[in-house]
Amino acid sequence: MRWVKFFFSLLLTLLVGAVLLFPFGSTPFAFGTFFDPFVGFWSNAESNDAKADLTLSLAELKGEVVVKYDKRGVPHIFAGNSEDLFFVQGYITAKDRLWQMEFQTMAAGGRLTEIVGIGKDSVVLNLDRSARRKGMVFGAENSVEKMKADDASYKALQAYTKGVNTYIESLSPGDLPIEYKLLGYQPEQWTILKSALLQKYMASTLSWRSNDIPYTHAVQLWGEKVFNTLYPEYHREDEPIVPKETRWRRREVLPAMPIPTAYHPDSMLIAGDFAPPSRDEQIVGSNNWAVSPSKSKSGHALLANDPHLSLNLPSIWYELQLQAPGINVYGVSLPGSPAVIIGFNDSIAWGVTNGSRDVLDHYTITYKNDKKKEYLHDGQWHLIEERIEEHLIKGGEIYYDTVRYTHIGPVMYEDGFAPKGKPLAVRWMAHDPSNELETFMKLNVANNYEEYVDAISTFVCPAQNFVFASVSGDIAIWQQGKIPHKWKDQGKFILDGSRRDHIWEKFIPQKDNPHAFNPPQGFVQSANQHPTTARYPYETQGRYEDFRGRRLFSLLSEKDSMTLEDMQAIQLDNYYQGAADILPFMLSELDTLQLNAVQRKAYDALKQWNYQYTTDKFEPSIYQKWWGELYRSVWDDEYKNSPLALAYVKNRTFMQLLQDSLDLSYYRIIGDSTDYSRAYHINTSFKKALSKLKEERESDNFEDWTWSEQKKTSINHLSRTLTPFSRLQIPTNGNGGILNATGTQTGPSWRMVVELGPEIKAYAIYPGGQSGNPGSPSYDSFINDWVDGKYYKLDFMKGPEVDGDYHTLKIKKKNSKE
Amino acid sequence: MRFVLRFIFVGLIGFLCGSYLPQFPLWPSMAGAFLVGLLLSRKKKKWVFGKKQKPTYAFLAGFLALLIVWGLVAFTKDSANASLLSEKIGGVFDVFLGMEGEWLIPKPNMLVLITALIGGLAGGLSIMTGNLLGEAIKS
C-alpha cells in the first residue's frame, strides 16, 4: 500500500515537474522556469534604486577601461587604446541591448522563423523568404570581405564582436533579456557577418524602394505623355539640396532608350496582386542642415540632424561617448556596429539624411527551358548559380527555397513568389561589396573638411546626405553613395535582363556627386528632396519629399544670427507646406452660399488657420480629412478600375494638377456619364469630410476634433507581438511632410543640435531610453520629454576624472594568475 | 518539530539553490525537498506522539516553505521595481491568451500569487514523495 502511495505521489510530482519545467502546447516557455523568482521574469525587474559602482576583470583587455554612466544612463567610455574601446563598446551595448541587436540581424538575415515559427498564413516565413530572396545575406557576405580589407574597420569589428561575445558568455540565466525568456530561445555568438547584416538592414530601410513595377503598368496603360504628367520628376518651386545656382561641368550623356510602352505584356500582374506603395507621406526621411558662422549669433557654425525612422522600442539608437588616444566622439551608435553613426567630436559634427536615390532595378529573366539552369544575356546562354536557402523553423522543420542568381542579381520573383508573370531579378546597390563602417570610423576622428570628404567618399549604399560643420567654421553637404550612371529613364520601368545595354555599367564619378561647400547663402540643408535642379548632368531618379525641404529652406533663408534654440525650434516646426500650398485654393473653390452652420464655421476657421499641426488645433484634422476625401473623390475610380496595380499620384503633383487644370479627364468618374467638375469634387469632399469627422469623433463640437484625437503616435516593441512593451497612442504634434515629421509610427528618431565653438555645445533627445529592458525605468524614460519637445544638454566629457552624478563601471585586465 | 524542521530545510534549500544555481531553475529545489522528505521520514510509528502522521503534513511543510520563499523573493523584486515589469508581463499574458479587461486582483499581486503557488506546489509534492518513499522503505 505504501509503495502504491509512493508511486502515485511520484507520478504526480513528475507530471507537475514536467509541466513546470518544459514548454507545453503553443507556450514558448516553461512556466516553472518563467515564474522562478530567482531566474525567471522577476529577475528582469530592475530595482529603481541608484545603480552601484562596479568593477569587472576581463582577460581580453589590454588595459584598464573606465565607463562613466551619466544620470540618463549614457555611457562615456575611456580606454587606453582603440581595440579596448570598441571591445567595451560591444560589451556594454550588449549589456543594454542584446536582444534588439540580435533580433534586428535575425530579421535582416531572414531567420525570424527560428524564433517565432512560420506565423499565421506563413507571414513570417514569407518575410524571411523575401529577405533571403532579395539578397540580404548575399550582400552582407560580400561586405564582410570588403570590411576585412580595411585594417581599422576589421580590428574594430573584431574587438566589438569579442566584446559582445564576452558579455554573452558571462550572462547568467537570470540576466537573459526578457524577450528570450518569453519567446523561449537563447542568444547565439555575435559575428562580423551580423554587423554586416545590420548595415544591410539600414540599406534596406532606406533604399529598398521602387516603383518599377507600378510605373511599368502606368506607362503601358496610359502612354508616355500621361505618365509624365502624373509622375513628374520635378515640381515647381522645388528647393533642391545643393543651391539652385550651382554650375555643373557637362558630362557625357548616355544614349536614351525608347520608353517601353508595350513592355513585357506577359510579365504583367493582376491588380491587387502587388501592393503599390502607400499614398501616405510618412515615408521614412530626415532633416539636416548646417549654418555658417556668418549666420550664427555666436559666430560659430551650427549643425542639426533629425533622422525620421520607424519608431521602435528598444530604440534604433544607443547614445554614448567614445574616448581613447586619437579619438573623442559623442553621438548615437547602432546597436550591432562599432563607432558613432551621427554625432560630433572636438573638431567637427556631422549628420545624415536619406538620399532617396533609386538604386534598385528589376530585370526580366529569360530561361533557356523549364530546367532554369541557363538564362539569356547579350545573345548568349549563361549559367544560373543556385543558392539553396535553408529556413529552420521553430519546432525542427526545415523549409528549402531555391534562389537563382544571375550576374545581374538574384531572381527574386518567380516560382509563385509574387508577382506573377515573367521571372524578375533584382539589381540592388546593397549587393555590391561595400564597407560603410569605414566612413563612420573616419568621421569619428576627422578634424576638417578634407578629412570629412575623404571619410564619406567610399560610402556606397544607401545614398546619404552627409551634412558637415567644423570648429574652424566650414559647412558642407554631400549627397554620397555609389550611384549608377543611367541613360534617361533607365530603371524607371522594368528592364530587360537579356540586353546588355540595360545593365548598370557605369557609375557616377564620386567627385560629381551633388555637393556644396560654404555656399554664399550661409547654410546647407537637406530634407530628402531632389538633390539638384534638372541642370545636373546625370539621372537622379528617386523617391523625393516635396514639402519639408521648401519650408526648411525658407526658415533658414529668413533668419540671421541663429542660435541653438532656433535650431531646436526648426526641428519642432509644425507648419505644413502642403496645406499652405493648396488650402487657399480649395477654400476659394467652395460655394459658401451652400454651407450649413457647421460647414460655415469650419470654412471660417480654415481661412484663419496658420497651417500649424499642433495637438490643440482642430484645423489640421479638418484639412487632413478634406484633402484625403478630395484625393479619393478624384482618383479612387481610376485606381479601383485599373486592371494593373498602380503607384499613387503624389500629393504635390495632384495639388499642381488641381490648380492648373480646370478640366482634367480624371475628374470624370469611371462608369458615370456626368461631366463632374473640379468644383464638384472640392465641394462634395468638404462636406463628406466634415460628416466623417462628426461620425468618427461622435460630436460636431470642434473641440473634440483636435489633432491630438485624430493622430496618435505608437512606438512599437520590435517584436510587434509583445504589445505591452510598446508605448501606444501618444498624442503628438506634427505629421509626415512637416519638419516635425512625427507620424503614426515614424518620426524623429534622434533630434540633435550642435554648436561648434571652442567648447562644443550640444543638445539632443531620442524617443526611447538607454536600456533595452522593458523592466527597467530607463526603457522609455526619454519619451515624455521627446513628446514635449524637450532636449537634454549633452555631457561631452573631457576625461574620466570628474565628480558628479555618475556611476562607474571599471573593467580591469584580468591577470592570468587570478 | 518535524514540521518546523521540514519547513526550514525545504525553505533554506529552495532559497540557496535559487540564489546559487541559476543554471538550474526549480528542479534542484524539488530534488532538495524530496531529500528532506526522505531523510526526515518516520523510522517507526511510535516516534510520533500518539498520533498517526499523514503525508499531507509533509506536503504542507514543503508547500508553505517554497510558497513563502518564492512569494517573498518575487514580492521583494516587484516592490523594488514598482511593479513596472509585472504590469507589462500581465499584459503579455492577456495578449497570449487573447484576453481583455481587468484581472480579479491587480496584475502584479496576481503574478506574485501565481509564483508563490507554483513554488508551493513543487515543494509540497516533492517533499511528500520523498516522505512516502522513506516510509515505504522503512516499513
Hey, is A343 helix, strand or coil?
strand
Close Cβ partners of A43 (under 8 Å, ≥ 6 residues apart): A37, A174, A175, B77
- DSSP notation for A227-272: HHHHS-S--TT---SS-TT------PPPPP----TT--GGG---TT
The Cα A167–Cα A161 span in angstroms is 10
- DSSP notation for A415-472: TTSSS-SS-EEEEEGGGS---HHHHHHHHHT--SHHHHHHHHTT--SS-EEEEEEETT
Do the chains contact at B25 and A21, CB–CB below 8 Å? yes
The Cα B101–Cα B78 span in angstroms is 22
The Cα A283–Cα A306 span in angstroms is 14
Cβ–Cβ < 8 Å for A439, A455: yes
Least confident of A148-152, A391-395, A645-649: A645-649
The Cα A81–Cα A63 span in angstroms is 8
* Region at A410 (left for phi over 0; alpha for psi -120 to 50; beta for the rest): beta
Using pLDDT thresholds of 50, 70 and 90, give the confidence band for residue A265.
Answer: very low
- The pLDDT of residue A252 is 67
Do the chains contact at B128 and A13, CB–CB below 8 Å? yes
| Domains of chain A by residue range | 577-611+618-705
> For residue A696, with 0-12 CB atoms within 10 Å meaning exposed, 13-18 middle and 19 or more buried, which class applies?
middle
Hey, is A749 helix, strand or coil?
coil
**Residues of chain A contacting residue B89, judged by C-beta atoms under 8 Å apart:** 41, 178, 724
- The dihedral sign for the CA sequence A670, A674, A680, A685: negative
Using pLDDT thresholds of 50, 70 and 90, give the confidence band for residue B2.
Answer: confident
The helix or strand, by DSSP H or E, that contains position A54, with its residue range, turns out to be strand A54-58
Three-state SS string across A658-709, please?
Answer: HHHCCCCHHHCCCCCCCCCCHHHHHHHHHHHHHHHHHHHHCCCCHHHHCHHH
| In the block, residue with C-alpha cell 522594368 | A494
- DSSP notation for B112-126: HHHHHHHHHHHHHHH
Q: What is the mean pLDDT of residues A365-377?
A: 94
Hey, is A392 helix, strand or coil?
strand
Chain segment A233-247, per-residue pLDDT in tens? 999 888 999 999 888
Cβ–Cβ < 8 Å for A45, B128: no
Chain segment A467-493, per-residue pLDDT in tens? 999 999 999 999 999 999 999 889 999
**Residues of chain A contacting residue B129, judged by C-beta atoms under 8 Å apart:** 6, 9-10, 12-13
Chain segment A679-703, per-residue pLDDT in tens? 999 999 999 999 999 999 999 899 9
The Cα A313–Cα A711 span in angstroms is 20
Question: Which residue of B92, B96, B109 is the best one to mutate when testing the A interface, meaning the one whose CB has the most A CBs within 10 A?
Answer: B92
Compare all CA atoms of chain B with the CA of A18 and give the residue at the minimum distance.
B27
> For residue A372, with 0-12 CB atoms within 10 Å meaning exposed, 13-18 middle and 19 or more buried, which class applies?
middle
- The pLDDT of residue A417 is 81
**Residues of chain A contacting residue B74, judged by C-beta atoms under 8 Å apart:** 35, 37, 42
Q: Which one has a higher pLDDT value, A658 or B98? A: A658
**The length of chain B, given as a count of residues:** 139
**Residues of chain A contacting residue B120, judged by C-beta atoms under 8 Å apart:** none
**The length of chain A, given as a count of residues:** 818
CA distance B116 to chain A (A): 9
Cβ–Cβ < 8 Å for A541, A207: no
CA distance B94 to chain A (A): 9
Q: What is the mean pLDDT of residues A542-555?
A: 93
- The pLDDT of residue A662 is 77
Cβ–Cβ < 8 Å for A290, A524: yes
CA distance B47 to chain A (A): 18
Burial call A648-685: b when 16+ CB within 10 Å, e when fewer: bbbbbbbbbbbeeeeeeebbbbeeeeeeeebeebbbeb
Q: What is the mean pLDDT of residues A294-308?
A: 97
Using pLDDT thresholds of 50, 70 and 90, give the confidence band for residue A817.
Answer: low
**Residues of chain A contacting residue B87, judged by C-beta atoms under 8 Å apart:** 724
| Domains of chain B by residue range | 2-138
The Cα B96–Cα B100 span in angstroms is 11
A731 prior amide bond cis, ω within 30: no
ipTM: 0.93
Close Cβ partners of A87 (under 8 Å, ≥ 6 residues apart): A60, A61, A65, A159, A160, A162, A163, A166
Do the chains contact at A182 and B70, CB–CB below 8 Å? no
Cβ–Cβ < 8 Å for A609, A705: no
Close Cβ partners of A691 (under 8 Å, ≥ 6 residues apart): none
- The pLDDT of residue A272 is 44
Measured at the CA of B38, the angle between CA B32 and CA B39, to 5 degrees, comes to: 90
Residue A318's φ and ψ, nearest 5 degrees, are: -130, 120
Do the chains contact at A724 and B86, CB–CB below 8 Å? no
The Cα A761–Cα A346 span in angstroms is 10
Cβ–Cβ < 8 Å for A138, A427: no
